[in-house]
Amino acid sequence: MSSTVTPDRLTGRSWAVLFVLCGAIFLEGIDVSMMGVALPSIRAELGLSTGELQWVVSAYALSYGGFVLLGGRAADLLGRRRMFVGWLVVFLLFSGLGGFAEEGWVLILARFATGVAAAFMTPAGLSIITTTYPEGPQRNKALLVYAGTAAGGFSLGMVTGGLLTTIDWRWVFFAPVLVSAVILAAAIALIPRDAQPAKRGGFDLAGAFTLTGAMLLLVAAVVRAPDVALAQTLVTAVAGTALLAAFIAIERRVSSPLVRLGLLRNSSLIRANLGAILLVGSFVGFQFITVLYLQELRDWSEWKTGLALMVIGIDSVLAPTLTPWLVNRFGNARVVFGGFVLATLAYVAFLPLGTTFAAMLPTFLLLGLGFALAYGPLTIAATDRVAEDEQGLASGVLTTSFQFGAALGLAVVAAVLAAADELTIDAFRNGLLVPLAAAGLGALIALGGLRPAVRNQMAAKG
């Protein structure tokens, strides 16, 4: 399927397969962002505190991030189509289960299980792309369309979540079930059956559980810091760090590691993953603040909040159209840097915490553009110069970074808000400093990636 008369163009069937895979990542993105808009309604009905409320999102993000490396390896070893289709079914079932929750812990548990399903489904889908389309213009276009769809789902889910929540927040869980069923039928019909996997090996379950445990403990340490004694916070943080050290030790000794540590010598991959943590962490933290600010302090309705945030969805149009042209013209590093600069400016513009949509519009436009510029090129950088039989692994590492960034950014913001006696203008403004600092740090890291490109250009001219 990847060899055509015009190798820079995608065939009709290639587009069809890509649309199915984009449908799944759109579902994953819209599922997360719909949840963000519904959080105040969930809090009101189930009686959750701010710290408990963030676990509705973090439980999903951490199980997703903790098991996605295992999911990437499973795709490489057991077959990408098999993993994609099978775990899409699990995603469908547990997404529906969350809609029936009557207590907070049931909802959080359902979100955790849905995250595990996404952890196996998503890297399988991404590695189908990176192994189906040849490296170069075809793969870049497919990845940018895929990333743009993910970004669009994430953004458009905010207005969808607002509209569904006005009916009942439980529809935020039930609607993805219907979408999943359509994608599942198309996937079974269109995605080619797996060839015999060329790679052999086992599964590093100890690595997966220690990594997930480390992330859970580290996020818990941050979230609970305002409510527990300092000694308890330190013990939790030390335990998380110890599990992270255990994960590294396991990866060095096990015969079939979850992460081949040599892969981390790829400087482009490291920068891309740090950028992913900061980009998504800042965005999710900002969304959490904005939704609570508009609905709980300004008394905006769910649908009005969603409509306002929908402006950020311009990234779904710009990512597959403007971003590929910019990448071809200026290269990944410059485009990523520009994206982080725009995101930083967006958060600065929101600091006055205006009360009208017109006052917030510059932030939403800048953030949509910044997200469009940074998200796709980070995906390309993270899988560039990686062997084909490790594309699933590289995809899994990137997804881990996206999800851990989401959970960490949300945890820090929730901790800052929880530290305040009540949710006032000053409390929200202090919370906004978190995404602002993260975006600024992301710009500095992206700036470091420009130096090799400049040196290469100077050498070429010489």
- Which domain CATH number covers 403? 1.20.1250.20
| Residue 323 pLDDT greater than 80, yes or no | yes
251 located within any domain:
yes
Answer yes or no: do 229 and 92 share one domain: no
Instruction: Give the pLDDT confidence of 408-452 residue by residue, as tens digits.
Output: 898 899 889 888 878 889 999 999 999 999 999 999 999 887 765
Last residue of a domain, one of 160, 191, 222: 191
- Tell me the average pLDDT of the chain: 83
Answer yes or no: do 267 and 399 share one domain: yes
- For the residues 239-262, what does the mean pLDDT come to? 87
242 located within any domain:
yes
Query: Rounded to whole angstroms, how far apart are CA atoms 432 and 34?
Result: 21
Query: Rounded to whole angstroms, how far apart are CA atoms 167 and 296?
Result: 18
pLDDT tier for residue 1 given thresholds of 50, 70 and 90: very low
22 located within any domain:
yes
Instruction: Tell which wins on pLDDT, 156 or 276.
Output: 276
Answer yes or no: do 52 and 162 share one domain: yes
Percent residues over pLDDT 70 in the chain: 92
Query: Rounded to whole angstroms, how far apart are CA atoms 79 and 250?
Result: 25
460 located within any domain:
no
Instruction: Tell which wins on pLDDT, 43 or 5.
Output: 43
pTM for the full predicted model: 0.79
Answer yes or no: do 276 and 359 share one domain: yes
197 located within any domain:
no
Q: Based on the structure, what is the number of domains in the chain?
A: 3
Answer yes or no: do 159 and 28 share one domain: yes
| Residue 260 pLDDT greater than 70, yes or no | yes
Helices (H), ranges, 331-383? 332-350, 357-383
200 located within any domain:
no
pLDDT tier for residue 58 given thresholds of 50, 70 and 90: confident
Answer yes or no: do 85 and 187 share one domain: yes
pLDDT for position 290: 93
Whether residue 443 contacts residue 342, with contact meaning beta carbons closer than 8 Å, is answered with: no
pLDDT tier for residue 395 given thresholds of 50, 70 and 90: confident
The contacts of residue 405 (CB under 8 Å, 6+ apart) are: 276, 277, 278, 279, 280, 281, 284
Where b means 16+ CB within 10 Å and e means fewer, 137-156 reads: ebbbbbbbbbbbbbbbbbbb
Instruction: Give the pLDDT confidence of 263-298 residue by residue, as tens digits.
Output: 777 778 888 899 999 999 999 899 889 999 999 889
Where b means 16+ CB within 10 Å and e means fewer, 313-324 reads: bbbbebbbebbb
| Residue 3 pLDDT greater than 50, yes or no | no
Answer yes or no: do 270 and 243 share one domain: no
135 located within any domain:
yes
| Residue 456 pLDDT greater than 50, yes or no | no
SS3 content of the chain, % helix, strand, coil (to 5): 85, 0, 15
244 located within any domain:
yes
Answer yes or no: do 182 and 293 share one domain: no
Answer yes or no: do 272 and 125 share one domain: no
Last residue of a domain, one of 215, 232, 257: 257
pLDDT for position 24: 87
Among 1-10, 82-91, 275-284, 442-451, the least confident range: 1-10
Whether residue 52 contacts residue 104, with contact meaning beta carbons closer than 8 Å, is answered with: yes
Last residue of a domain, one of 158, 191, 224: 191
pLDDT tier for residue 9 given thresholds of 50, 70 and 90: low
Answer yes or no: do 420 and 283 share one domain: yes
CA gyration radius for the chain? 21
Answer yes or no: do 339 and 239 share one domain: no
Answer yes or no: do 178 and 212 share one domain: no
**Can you give the residue range of the structural domain that contains 92?**
12-191
Instruction: Give the pLDDT confidence of 294-321 residue by residue, as tens digits.
Output: 998 899 988 888 888 888 878 777 877 8
pLDDT for position 10: 62
